[in-house]
Amino acid sequence: MNYNDTPEEAAFRQEVKDFLAKELPSEKVDAPADGFPRPSKEWTRKLADRKWIAPAWPREYGGAGLSVMEQFIFNNEMAEARAPRVGGIATGFAGPTLIVHGTEEQKKKYLPGILSGDDVWCQGYSEPGSGSDLASLQTRAVRDGDDYVVNGQKIWTSGGHLASQMILLARTDPDAPKHRGITYFIVDMKSPGIQVRPLINMADTHEFNEVFFEDVRVPAKNVIGDENRGWYLAQTTLSFERSNIGSAIGTRQNIEDMVKFARESDASTLAHNPSLRTELVERFIEAGVAQQMSFKIVSMQAREGVPAGHEASVAKMYGTELNQRVYGTGMKMLGLYGQLDNKSEGPDVPMKGRIKYQYLRSVANTIEGGTSEIQRNIIATRGLGLPRA
């Protein structure tokens, strides 16, 4: 890994820094505890004007067409500045899938709303009996004239209560091998027959939902790619830069906030528990390791032009397990003050109650996006060449 920017990369980094220094101050707010920051329309417009809502997308589709290293620099500087991001599933999954596999009609209809930041998308993948083994999903879509009729249930649908559209995997050929009978759909979340029910997590916030489909009619023109080829679309969606640098930097920043609190506040238990000094140092070193993993991944992508494989699984597993250790240390540092959360009021609420929320929320980190068990299997088989169990 070459840690030095090229002249062109250094100029781009300075451009991003200058933009953030000028435009960000009025936008800087603590992320809400529900996990869904809602950037202002003004901030969204500023990013859209520079094509930075979807900076990785090709220019012909309204993106900034950034190189892998430019994407890394952009994500790095945005994370360092704690700037709110716009897009989520819409820019990271739905848009890239449409760019690669969608029809021109689909691109014209859906990409503008993503690029403006107006449209929120959700992802209809997991089901109550199909999580890690996603290909076993049972939600059915049956062709009926110019429509498909969808029946079934999805779960853990992040942002489903806010979304206008869903990217949906549904089974269209129940007799085919499980990977070969799945089709990829765009579903209007306002369609008759869709019911969204909230799932409240242990941190008492509403991110996830379960979504029920009862005779929901989806136009055949909303199929992305070919019928029964949805699994392969889901697996081969264009892979943009996935170094996870934002998460690594965010973890380090949270540790820095803890250290600052420990030094300045009488509410810290540090004076009574000197071993916490060692824990904080260990967490800080571990956050540095997570950043180095991000550097390795982006270096591979830039050099070899291929998405990270088992290296991404290493970074995901390490980073999410680190989150849990970080907030466990934070709760020790706060003692009884750790019972206060973001809903508590008063000047004596440490760090605005973030630690309690993150401590509870981080339990899900090693489950969502691929469990640690799945990541270990990928690392063992694809990274170490071990046989499958």
Radius of gyration of the chain (CA): 22
Instruction: Point out the catalytic residue in the list 77, 207, 241, 311.
Output: 241
Q: What sign results for the dihedral spanned by CA atoms 108, 111, 117, 120?
A: positive
215 sits in the region (left: phi over 0; alpha: psi -120 to 50; else beta) called: left
Question: Of 146, 124, 143, 144, which is closest to residue 134 (Cα–Cα)?
Answer: 124
CA angle in degrees (0–180, nearest 5) for 371-136-224: 95
Helical H runs in 116-269? 230-236, 245-264
- Is 8 part of the annotated catalytic residue set? no
What contacts 185, CB < 8 A, 6 or more positions away?
141, 148, 150, 167, 168, 169, 170, 218, 222, 223, 224, 230
CA 200 to chain centre: 19
Helical H runs in 305-335? 310-334
H/E stretch holding 1 reads none
Q: Is 305 helix (H, G, I), strand (E, B) or coil?
A: coil
* DSSP designation for 24: S
Q: Give phi and psi for 377, each to the nearest 5.
A: -65, -45
SS3 content of the chain, % helix, strand, coil (to 5): 50, 15, 35
Residues in the chain: 389
Enter the tokens of residue 342.
Answer: 């973001």
Residues classed as catalytic: 241
